[in-house]
Structure 1
Amino acid sequence: MKIYILLILSLLSIQSYAQISEDCIITPTIQSTHGCKVQCKQLKKSEVKKYKYYCTETTSFNNSKYVNIDDDATFEKEVYKLHKENFAKIPTGFVFTDRDGKRHTIQKVNLGTDSKQYQDYNIMASVGQYLIIEQTAYEDQQYLVINMHTYTSYTLSGKPIFINENMMYSYGFETITIVDFELNTDVTITFNSPIINSSYSVNSSMGILFELDNSKCDTKQFFAITNL
């Protein structure tokens, strides 16, 4: 586990793109916290098949730990009872206060006659001690991941995918975010090309594989995020 974390959160280096058409080269921008760095490698066509063989996209690092929550009302009552210092019921939903004292208002409400002025939420699932809440508004969607032991929280633009009990990632339209819970670090990578899908490898040296749609190319492009 430690080796895998070090592989993901290691030196930043953009590899040379030999045998990749100049028009197809994608240069991502990277923002990180606490010195968190990764290595990005754009793959040649001949390398993609090898990566795909080792990669799979799953709901969680261990499906038995991923518990869907179908009854929001019942689950919320239990949360208020067991975590009353951090979760407070309000008429439209609830307020969660994280370990840093930041208040997150989670609610279902229509803010006006305009159909665009609304907010909604869905308590989706729990993965170990982590609670996943989907929040939606007009042309907006995000996911709040809460550690129910420490009350730390993470806001993501895409559905969280757990690599193991200490690490998750998510991807949105053009960005991916990798979070290391144990080290409390994260890194966001922006590609400026739409991300079609992702998968992570059971072979830790191969990291996470992303497929991108580059409008300048006739073919799909692939990136590996790791420390090879």
Structure 2
Amino acid sequence: MASASTGRRTHPVRRGLVNVWRLSLLTIFWALVSALVWVRGHVRLPKWLGSDSREVAVRLWTLGWLTFVWVLLWGVVSWANVLAGATLAIAIVTLLPLPRVAVEGRIHPLSVAILVLRLVYDFAVSSFQVGWMAVRPGKPPLGAVVRVRVAIKSDMVLTLAIDYLNLVPGTMVVELDHRRRLLYVHVFDVSSQRRVRAFYRQVAYTEKMFIKAFERDSEWHPSPYHGIDDDYHHVDPVDRLRVTGPESQERS
């Protein structure tokens, strides 16, 4: 009886602690949302960081990567090296800007993870196949340059897809028709129709997964920063003028 009564007395205390914990989480969440809304409405980011949140994220990633490389070069993790690397990264991005990279679509982490796992699998299987071709007796395999078209719209995502194909042993992109989205890929072994069909299946899977991971049609919108790709991406001149300003239009 004593233990039962003690359990009934402590139950309201536990319930009160749970309610306090929930109220604290709601308060913290509300404060964070309010702070984000205030920052979005009052803080103006420098133009060199980008015109929208995705471009800002890319610029911040660039600053972080340059800072990380600086710390690696020194070999010592310290506040002095981190601050010096961040200062140098800001100076490089500001004084020596690279051409603006159009950021389009959104990143889907699950699809990216599946893509990375498939890359590891393809790398292992292709490495074994190329190694066996190098040591097996007989004539060397018949290689050829194969042309294939992809439906990837973003230049950045297309570059990542080409890097994917180049990382897998047995395939190497030797030329790219930028406007028509044609890849000319050197394939290590095209001695049979089965090998050729396997290559086309690999490219089709790579294309599908990159589109699923980065540029789904429901989330895609072309960036006004495309240059020679305006015809392909159907960029409205009004959008370009809105982002770049009349001065850059006059210079171009």
| TM-score normalised over the length of structure 1 | 0.24
Higher relative contact order (CA 8 A, sep 6+): 1
Structure with the higher fraction of residues in strand conformation: 1
